[in-house]
Structure 1
Amino acid sequence: MQFTNLSKTSAFKKLAKLRPLEVKAELKAERIRSAAVSIGAGLSYNWAAMPIGDDHIAMLQELADEQQLAAKYEALLSGEVMNTGENRLVLHHLTRGRVLGDDTSIFADEEEKGAFYLDQLEKITKFSQAVREGLLVGSTGKPFSTVVQIGIGGSDLGPRALYIALKGWAKGASIMKKEARFISNVDPDDADEVFEGLDFEKTLFILVSKSGTTQETLTNYELVKQAMVNANIKGMDPSQHMVAVTSKSSPLASSKDFLQAFYIDDYIGGRYSSSSAVGAVVLSIAYGSEVFQRFLNGAHEADKAALEPQITQNAAMLDALIGVYLRNVLNLPCTAILPYSQGLSRFPAHLQQLDMESNGKQVNRNGEPIDYSTGPIIFGEPGTNGQHSFYQLLHQGTDTVPLQFIGFSNSQRGKDIVTAGSTSQTKLVANLIAQIVAFAKGKDDTNANKRFPGNRYSSVIHADQLNPETLGALLAHYENKVMFQGFLWNINSFDQEGVQLGKLLANKVLQGGDGDEALQGYMDLLE
Structure 2
Amino acid sequence: MATWKNLDTLETFKALSEVKRVKLAEAMSGVEGAERVKKYSVPMAEGFSYNFAAKQVDDEVLNALKALAEEAQLAEKFEELYNGAVINTGENRLVLHQLTRGQLGNAVEADGVDKREFYVKQQARIAEFANKVHNGGITNAAGEKFTTVVQIGIGGSDLGPRAMYLALENWAKKNNTLKMKAQFISNVDPDDAAAVLNAVDVAHALFVLVSKSGTTLETLTNESFVKEALKKAGLDASKHMIAVTSETSPLAKSDDYLAAFFMDDYIGGRFSSTSAVGGAVLSLAFGPDVFAQFLEGAAAEDKLSANKNVMENPEMLDALIGVYERNVLGYPGTAVLPYSQALSRFPAHLQQLDMESNGKSVNRFGEPVDYPTGPVIFGEPGTNGQHSFYQLLHQGTDIVPLQFVGFRNSQIGTDIEIQGSTSQQKLCANVAAQIVAFACGKSDDNRNKNFEGGRPSSIIIGDSLTPKSLGALLAHFENKIMFQGFLWNVNSFDQEGVQLGKVLAKRVLAHETDGALKVYSDLLNI
- Which TM-score band applies after superposition, normalised by the shorter structure? over 0.9
Match of 1:321 in 2: 320
Deviation at 1:287, TM superposition (A): 0.7
Deviation at 1:291, TM superposition (A): 0.7
Residues 63-83 of structure 1 deviation map (CA, whole Å, 9 limit, x = unaligned): 000010000000000000000
Name the aligned partner's letter for residue 514 of structure 2: D
Is the 8 Å Cα contact of residues 137 and 144 (structure 1) preserved in structure 2? yes
Structure 2 counterparts to residues 465-476 of structure 1, below 5 A: 465-476=464-475
Structure 2 counterparts to residues 202-213 of structure 1, below 5 A: 202-213=204-215
Match of 1:343 in 2: 342
Is the 8 Å Cα contact of residues 364 and 489 (structure 2) preserved in structure 1? yes
Deviation at 1:140, TM superposition (A): 2.4
Match of 1:201 in 2: 203
Gaps of 5+ in 1: none
Residues 139-163 of structure 1 deviation map (CA, whole Å, 9 limit, x = unaligned): 2221100000000000000000000
Residues 302-351 of structure 1 deviation map (CA, whole Å, 9 limit, x = unaligned): 00000111211110000000000000001110000000000000000000
Match of 1:301 in 2: 300
Match of 2:462 in 1: 463
Name the aligned partner's letter for residue 518 of structure 1: A
**Deviates further, 20-29 or 352-361:** 20-29
Residues 275-307 of structure 1 deviation map (CA, whole Å, 9 limit, x = unaligned): 000000110111111111111000000000001
Is the 8 Å Cα contact of residues 347 and 380 (structure 2) preserved in structure 1? yes
Deviation at 1:523, TM superposition (A): 1.0
Is the 8 Å Cα contact of residues 69 and 484 (structure 1) preserved in structure 2? yes
Deviation at 1:44, TM superposition (A): 1.3
Counterpart of 2:94 (choices 73, 89, 93) is 89
Structure 2 counterparts to residues 122-141 of structure 1, below 5 A: 122-141=124-143
Deviation at 1:137, TM superposition (A): 0.2
TM-score w.r.t. the length of structure 1 is: 0.98
Match of 1:33 in 2: 38
Deviation at 1:462, TM superposition (A): 1.1
**Deviates further, 39-48 or 295-304:** 39-48
Match of 2:149 in 1: 147
SS in 2 for 1:323: helix
TM-score w.r.t. the length of structure 2 is: 0.98
Deviation at 1:175, TM superposition (A): 1.5
Match of 2:224 in 1: 222
Is the 8 Å Cα contact of residues 36 and 47 (structure 1) preserved in structure 2? yes
Gaps of 5+ in 2: none
Is the 8 Å Cα contact of residues 88 and 267 (structure 1) preserved in structure 2? yes
SS in 1 for 2:244: strand
Rounded Cα–Cα distance in structure 2 between residues aligned with 1:217 and 1:393: 37
Rounded Cα–Cα distance in structure 2 between residues aligned with 1:105 and 1:458: 39
SS in 2 for 1:4: coil
Match of 1:414 in 2: 413
Rounded Cα–Cα distance in structure 2 between residues aligned with 1:282 and 1:268: 17
Deviation at 1:20, TM superposition (A): 2.5
Give the aligned length: 520
Name the aligned partner's letter for residue 69 of structure 2: A
Structure 2 counterparts to residues 505-524 of structure 1, below 5 A: 505-512=504-511, 514-524=512-522
Name the aligned partner's letter for residue 228 of structure 2: Q
Rounded Cα–Cα distance in structure 2 between residues aligned with 1:258 and 1:372: 48
Match of 2:243 in 1: 244
**Deviates further, 15-24 or 407-416:** 15-24
Deviation at 1:263, TM superposition (A): 0.3
Rounded Cα–Cα distance in structure 2 between residues aligned with 1:187 and 1:307: 42
SS in 1 for 2:44: strand
* Residue 169 (structure 1) aligned with residue 171 (structure 2): yes
Is the 8 Å Cα contact of residues 246 and 253 (structure 1) preserved in structure 2? yes
Is the 8 Å Cα contact of residues 507 and 513 (structure 2) preserved in structure 1? no
Deviation at 1:19, TM superposition (A): 3.4
Residues 331-375 of structure 1 deviation map (CA, whole Å, 9 limit, x = unaligned): 110000000000000000000000000000000000001100000
* Residue 44 (structure 1) aligned with residue 45 (structure 2): no
SS in 2 for 1:182: strand
Rounded Cα–Cα distance in structure 1 between residues aligned with 2:114 and 2:179: 34
Match of 1:9 in 2: 10
Deviation at 1:516, TM superposition (A): 2.4
Name the aligned partner's letter for residue 398 of structure 1: T
Is the 8 Å Cα contact of residues 384 and 431 (structure 1) preserved in structure 2? yes
Rounded Cα–Cα distance in structure 2 between residues aligned with 1:38 and 1:298: 14
Is the 8 Å Cα contact of residues 337 and 404 (structure 2) preserved in structure 1? yes
Rounded Cα–Cα distance in structure 2 between residues aligned with 1:291 and 1:397: 43
Match of 1:76 in 2: 81
Is the 8 Å Cα contact of residues 39 and 316 (structure 1) preserved in structure 2? no
Q: Any runs of at least 4 consecutive aligned residues in structure 1 with deviations exceeding 6 A, and if so which?
A: none
Is the 8 Å Cα contact of residues 97 and 274 (structure 2) preserved in structure 1? yes
Match of 2:499 in 1: 500
Rounded Cα–Cα distance in structure 1 between residues aligned with 2:255 and 2:142: 18
Residues 89-126 of structure 1 deviation map (CA, whole Å, 9 limit, x = unaligned): 000000001012xxx21111111111000000000111
Percentage identity across paired residues of the two chains: 60
Rounded Cα–Cα distance in structure 2 between residues aligned with 1:494 and 1:471: 22
Name the aligned partner's letter for residue 284 of structure 1: S
Is the 8 Å Cα contact of residues 272 and 354 (structure 1) preserved in structure 2? yes
Match of 1:268 in 2: 267
**Deviates further, 18-27 or 38-47:** 18-27
Is the 8 Å Cα contact of residues 168 and 466 (structure 2) preserved in structure 1? yes
Rounded Cα–Cα distance in structure 1 between residues aligned with 2:169 and 2:419: 29
User: Residues 252, 15 of structure 1: CA spacing in aligned structure 2 closer, same or farther, 3 A cutoff?
Assistant: same
Deviation at 1:134, TM superposition (A): 2.0
Match of 2:432 in 1: 433
Structure 2 counterparts to residues 110-125 of structure 1, below 5 A: 110-125=112-127
Match of 2:194 in 1: 192
Structure 2 counterparts to residues 274-423 of structure 1, below 5 A: 274-423=273-422
Deviation at 1:136, TM superposition (A): 1.0
Is the 8 Å Cα contact of residues 139 and 241 (structure 1) preserved in structure 2? no
**Deviates further, 14-23 or 237-246:** 14-23
Name the aligned partner's letter for residue 7 of structure 2: L
Is the 8 Å Cα contact of residues 243 and 260 (structure 1) preserved in structure 2? yes
Rounded Cα–Cα distance in structure 1 between residues aligned with 2:137 and 2:47: 36
Deviation at 1:197, TM superposition (A): 3.2
Structure 2 counterparts to residues 96-115 of structure 1, below 5 A: 96-100=101-105, 104-115=106-117
Is the 8 Å Cα contact of residues 311 and 318 (structure 1) preserved in structure 2? yes
